[in-house]
């Protein structure tokens, strides 16, 4: 064969291969496009809020806070015929939704001149754990020390994380908020005692909108030593997540707009639990301000009185009536949400909450196990509560046509090994571990009997 003929054959062979590869790639691309769920097709038309930009470098650990992904929960969405979307707040560097709040509280205090980095100042907070870990993380990054006062019955892994972050941890007996020894009251007192009682007088009254109840002024909570009002003096600062408006602002200006953008402004319902009320108030009010028809729904663990407050106007849980209460505070294995008093942040949320569901410990445990089994999602207890409430809302509304329900994955299961993810602990506390509860809730009874939907 001539050299010319051989060269021509090689060219034709090359073109043939090229056409074949091109055709199969475009076929694959068209199959992939067809199989993509509609949420992803919508998304591609918009500027994406989360992307890797070449040359972009975040500034330290606080640069990693927020801008979290939104994921479709495949198992629940497919089973219900709706789109359940969950904001992955557990991917924040401190491991929870509370990173945003810690950052905002500290930034606002710095802006008001109440905290100055690297002055030996110390931030105090009363918390069941997650907020403490977030404050300790941000405080370290910004040049402050931290003291965290927490009830002594929360999962011990949170204490270990706090100690690893260099926080001083005080664990106290859980008592009612009216008791001076309640952990939030003790944190306030410790902050005041860190210096002396010579409070700063800066006013931040202008920060509240007209329908928002007045907040405890952040400035009232910072204390300078008696012998010095200089900015470089060490101060004690009470973060006060329950009453501090920075908590709400972090969600109204951060989490809410992110969800709006990630869903292309299409949210039929937003569901969240309330610990301080900051998330549901901030995100709920932002979404309602963008679309009045978005339903804002509370996921309330057993033992918390908020569900009844939303439904009937009375802050009360049936465990009180039954006399079966085991714990001094909210009587549930779920940590981080549920409360039996009204805080400023909860007061902001109550007027915009459309509905509420009481979630039993058994339901939350079941959901957590179900999501590991079906989706490989290893979530903490408040996230599990949120997702049970998503299912209850969808069932109650009779939704099955792709309606979009958005919720929060607050933290991961790794924060809950010793209680919520500890089968022995659950058995000792008579909390059933049955994945079938969720299966039945979704409408596919596993063993014939039907789980009565609570709430
Ligand atoms: C794990 C976890 N999930 C949810 C929440 C509730 O968030 P919020 O305080 O905004 O109501 C908290 C609050 O501490 C929490 O720690």
pLDDT digits (tens, 9 = 90+) for 33-91: 444 444 444 544 444 555 667 788 889 999 999 999 999 999 999 999 999 999 999 99
Q: Which H or E element spans position 18?
A: helix 3-35
Contact 278, 306 (CB under 8 A): no
Give me 4's structure tokens: 């010319």
Domains (range + CATH), the chain: 61-91+247-441 (3.40.50.1100), 98-245 (3.40.50.1100)
Q: List the 70-72 sheet strands across, edge first.
A: 70-72, 83-88, 404-409, 269-272, 295-301, 355-359
pLDDT confidence of residue 41: 47
Residue 309 has pLDDT above 90, yes or no: yes
Residue 445: per-residue pLDDT: 39
CA of 337 to the centre of ligand 1 (A): 5
From the alpha carbon of 251, which atom of ligand 1 is closest?
10
CB 85 within 8 A of CB 387: no
What is the C-alpha to C-alpha distance for residues 157 and 381, in angstroms, rounded to an integer?
Answer: 14
- CA-closest candidate to residue 106, choices 87, 126, 134: 134
Q: For residue 405, how far is its CA from the centre of ligand 1 (angstroms)?
A: 19
Rounded CA Rg of the chain: 25
Query: What is the rounded distance in angstroms from the CA atom of residue 226 to the CA atom of residue 332?
Result: 43
Find out whether the beta carbon of 98 lies less than 6 Å from any atom of ligand 1: yes
Position in ligand 1 atom list of the atom nearest CA 380: 1
Q: In the chain, how long is the greatest CA-to-CA distance?
A: 101
N-terminal to C-terminal alpha carbon distance within the chain: 84
Beta-bridged to residue 72, according to DSSP, are 85
* Protein residue whose Cα sits closest to atom 4 of ligand 1: 336
Q: Find out whether the beta carbon of 410 lies less than 6 Å from any atom of ligand 1.
A: yes
Please answer whether residues 223 and 191 qualify as being in contact, where contact means their C-beta atoms are separated by less than 8 angstroms. yes
Angle at which helices 381-397 and 361-375 pack, to 10 degrees? Answer: 90
Instruction: Please compute the mean of the pLDDT values over residues 383-407 and round it to a whole number.
Output: 97
Among 410, 411, 412, which residue has the most ligand 1 atoms within 8 Å of its CB, making it the best to mutate?
Answer: 410
Tokens found for residue 367: 């959901």
| pLDDT at residue 203 in the model | 31
pTM of the model: 0.81
413 lines ligand 1 (CB under 6 A): no
Q: How far is the CA of 391 from the centre of ligand 1 (A)?
A: 20
- Residue 382 CB less than 6 A away from ligand 1: yes
pLDDT digits (tens, 9 = 90+) for 25-34: 444 444 444 4
Output the 3-class SS for 38-56.
HHHHHHHCCCCCCCCCCCC
Q: How many helices (H) and strands (E) does the chain have?
A: 17, 11
Atom of ligand 1 nearest to the CA of 276: 9
CA distance 120 to 139: 11
- Give per-residue pLDDT as tens, 138-178: 999 999 999 999 988 877 888 999 999 999 999 998 887 77
| 98-111 helix and 130-142 helix, angle to the nearest 10 degrees | 40
Q: Which of 445, 85, 94, 18 is nearest to 262 (CA)?
A: 85
Check pLDDT > 90 for residue 362: yes
Which of 174-188, 374-388, 399-413 has the lowest average pLDDT? 174-188
What the block records as the tokens of 403 is 């309606």
Confidence of residue 444 (pLDDT cuts 50, 70, 90): low
Q: Which atom of ligand 1 is nearest to the CA of 335?
A: 1
* Strands laid side by side in the 168-172 sheet: 168-172, 145-151, 122-126, 236-238, 222-223
Q: Report how far ligand 1's centroid is from the alpha carbon of 276 (Å).
A: 7
Any idea what DSSP says for residue 452? P
- Strand positions, DSSP E, 80-204: 83-88, 122-126, 145-151, 168-172
């Amino acid at each position: 064969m001539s050299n010319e003929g051989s060269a021509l054959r090689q060219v034709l062979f090359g073109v043939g291969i090229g056409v074949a590869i091109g055709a199969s790639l475009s076929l694959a691309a068209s199959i992939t496009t067809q199989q993509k769920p509609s949420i992803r097709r919508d998304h591609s038309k918009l500027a994406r809020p989360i992307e890797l930009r070449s040359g972009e470098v975040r500034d330290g650990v606080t640069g990693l806070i927020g801008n979290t992904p939104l994921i479709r929960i495949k198992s629940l969405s497919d089973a219900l015929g709706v789109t359940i979307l969950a904001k992955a707040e557990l991917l924040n560097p401190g491991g929870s939704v509370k990173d945003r709040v810690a950052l905002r509280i500290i930034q606002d205090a710095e802006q008001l001149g109440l905290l100055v980095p690297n002055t030996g100042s110390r931030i105090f907070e009363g918390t069941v754990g997650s907020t403490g870990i977030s404050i300790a993380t941000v405080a370290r990054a910004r040049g402050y020390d931290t003291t965290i006062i927490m009830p002594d019955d929360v999962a011990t892994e949170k204490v270990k994380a706090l100690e690893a972050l260099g926080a001083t941890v005080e664990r106290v007996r859980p008592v009612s908020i009216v008791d001076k020894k309640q952990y939030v009251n003790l944190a306030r007192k410790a902050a005041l005692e860190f210096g002396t009682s010579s409070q700063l007088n800066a006013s931040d009254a202008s920060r509240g909108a007209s329908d928002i109840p007045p907040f405890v002024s952040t400035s009232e909570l910072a204390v300078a030593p008696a012998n010095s009002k200089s900015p470089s003096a060490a101060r004690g600062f009470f973060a006060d997540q329950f009453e501090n408006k920075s908590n709400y602002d972090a969600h109204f200006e951060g989490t809410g707009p992110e969800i709006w953008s990630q869903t292309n402004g299409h949210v039929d319902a937003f569901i969240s639990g309330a610990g301080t009320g900051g998330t549901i108030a901030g995100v709920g009010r932002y979404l309602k301000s963008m679309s009045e028809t978005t339903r804002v729904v509370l996921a309330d663990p057993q033992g918390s009185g908020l569900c009844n407050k939303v439904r009937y106007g009375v802050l009360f849980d049936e465990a009180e009536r039954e006399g079966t209460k085991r714990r001094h505070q909210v009587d549930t294995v779920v940590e981080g949400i549920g409360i039996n008093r009204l805080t400023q942040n909860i007061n902001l949320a109550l007027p915009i909450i459309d509905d509420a569901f009481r979630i039993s410990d058994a339901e939350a445990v079941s959901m957590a196990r179900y999501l590991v089994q079906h989706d490989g999602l290893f979530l903490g207890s408040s996230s599990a509560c949120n997702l049970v409430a998503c299912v209850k809302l969808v069932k109650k509304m009779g939704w099955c046509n792709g309606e979009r329900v958005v919720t929060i994955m607050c933290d991961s299961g790794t924060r809950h090994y010793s209680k919520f993810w500890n089968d022995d602990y659950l058995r000792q506390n008579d909390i059933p571990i049955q994945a079938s509860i969720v299966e039945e809730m979704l409408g596919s009874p596993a063993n014939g009997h039907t789980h009565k939907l609570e709430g």
